[in-house]
Amino acid sequence: MTNRTASVNGAPHPQFAFFRGEMVPLEDARVSVMTHALHYGTAVFEGIRGNWNVEQEKMYIFRLREHYERLMQGCRMLMMELPYTVDDLCRITVELVERNANRSDIYIRPLAYKGAEMVANLKLHELSSDFTLIVVPFGNYLGTENLRCCTSSWRRLEDQMTPTQIKTSANYLNSILAKTEAVLAGFDEAILLNQDGHVSEGSGENLFMMRKGKLITPVLEDNPLPGITRETVMELAQEDLGLEVVERRIDRSELYLADEVFLSGTAAHLTPVISLDSRPIADGEPGPVSTALKRMYFDIVFGRNPKYLHWCTAAVLNLVAA
């Protein structure tokens, strides 16, 4: 995720960031080492995908508004007042995507942060905020089509300790520790239990399981992030596949006995879990519901399903060098 240029018709194309209210060359978007957020993780962010539809030569940004609505909730929690509305943020995002003109899948990262250059201060209400937005090329996040997961020795954060329903940067140490442990132990992804041992979610994904014909996902009381992909999957399963979808508490051992398990998230899309703690899930192959939902989901996020085109914001890329 370090590219500073995109290629347009074989020629390098300069990349921009939205920073302190303007579009600036990416290399000029820099903050001071005194920045509060750098020291304490006092920031909220979003991960939004732009999916490049090769046939139509269009970038489809998935559920842009919903991401900014969640970002705004995080800002409220962290006492950040941005000088933008959700509509403004959507417009700025489309403008940046069009200007950067990446002709491949992208990840859009808005970040609202305590930009105050004040390090020994723990009072949110005294710290000024800033907003920045970057776009980077982004392929398969998990690096594999099917996942071998482990149960993390780290527990998912509890809402009484830190707000779990918002994407605050500080919370991500929990995800980072779990992911690192899983990958260093030879697994693809970690599944975190909550404090009392119930299944919560992956390190950056929500979790679903199929058992006895029902699609089941952990209740928000067990502290998973209220994922936008989670909500999307629940709607598709119910509306299009006619499945009963249940939000309830999931015991750890239920996962080993599930007919199917999959993870969902903006970066992860919808990815089947084929083994957990070295035990295959069912026959160790992606199951029929995961496969059907994944196919539908991909059609939708690439703007190929007219019924759900309202979830996609199309960006028309500027092919003239900026």
Q: In whole angstroms, give the CA distance from residue 284 to residue 168.
A: 35
For ligand PMP, give the closer residue by CB, 189 or 260. Answer: 189
Angstrom distance (rounded) from CA 234 to CA 222 = 17
Task: Please tell me which residue in 58, 114, 123, 167 is annotated as part of the active site.
Answer: 167
Q: Tell me if residue 123 is catalytic.
A: no
At which residue do the structure tokens 């957020």 appear?
A: 37
Contact 115, 73 (CB under 8 A): no
Residues in the chain, how many? 322
Q: Which of 105, 189, 205, 222 binds ligand PMP (CB under 6 A)?
A: 205
Q: How far is the CB of 12 from ligand PMP (least distance, A)?
A: 30
What separation in angstroms does the CA of 22 have from each of 78, 87, 211? 23, 16, 50
d(CA 72, CA 74): 5
Return the range that interacts with ligand PMP (CB under 6 A); candidates 19-27, 105-113, 197-205, 294-302. 197-205
Among residues 115 and 227, whose Cβ is nearest to ligand PMP?
227
How do strand 269-276 and strand 147-155 relate by DSSP bridges?
parallel
Residue whose C-alpha is closest to residue 116's, from 104, 124, 108, 106? 124
- Output 176 or 246, the one with its CB closest to ligand PMP: 176
Q: Which of 130, 188, 189, 201 binds ligand PMP (CB under 6 A)?
A: 201
DSSP secondary structure, 277-297, as one string: TTEESTTSS--HHHHHHHHHH
222 is a site residue for ligand PMP (CB under 6 A): no
> Which two structure tokens, joined as six digits, stand for 205?
């994904």
Between 203 and 275, CB nearer to ligand PMP: 203
The answer to whether the CB of 34 falls within 8 A of the CB of 115 is no
> 204 vs 272, which CB is nearer to ligand PMP?
204
Judged by CB under 6 A, the chain residues 129 through 168 that form the site for ligand PMP are: 167
From candidates 50, 115, 204, 272, binder to ligand PMP by CB under 6 A: 204
Minimum distance between the CB of residue 228 and ligand PMP, rounded to whole angstroms?
4
Binder among 228, 243, 270, 296 for ligand PMP (CB under 6 A)? 228
Binding mask 265-284 for ligand PMP (x = CB under 6 A): xx------------------
Q: Which of 102, 151, 194, 206 binds ligand PMP (CB under 6 A)?
A: 206
Nearest to 9 by CA among 254, 279, 318: 318
Q: In the chain, which ranges are continuous DSSP H helix?
A: 36-40, 64-77, 86-100, 172-184, 228-239, 252-257, 288-301
Stretch that binds ligand PMP, among 5-13, 223-231, 241-249, 275-283 (CB under 6 A): 223-231
Closest contact distance (angstroms) between CB of 44 and ligand PMP is 11
Closest residue by Cα to residue 104 from 59, 134, 62, 142: 59
175 binds ligand PMP (CB under 6 A): yes
Asked if 41 interacts with ligand PMP (CB under 6 A), we say: no
Part in contact with ligand PMP (CB under 6 A); list of ranges 81-89, 260-268, 270-278, 312-320: 260-268
Question: Taking a C-beta distance cutoff of 8 angstroms, is the pair 41, 165 a contact?
Answer: no
Work out whether 225 is an interface residue with ligand PMP (CB under 6 A): yes
Number of residues in contact with ligand PMP, rule: CB under 6 A?
15
Pick from 169, 200, 214: nearest CA to 71: 169
In the set 227, 286, 287, 303, which binds ligand PMP (CB under 6 A)? Answer: 227
Active site residues: 167
- Binding region for ligand PMP (CB under 6 A): 47, 167, 175, 201, 204-206, 225, 227-230, 264-266
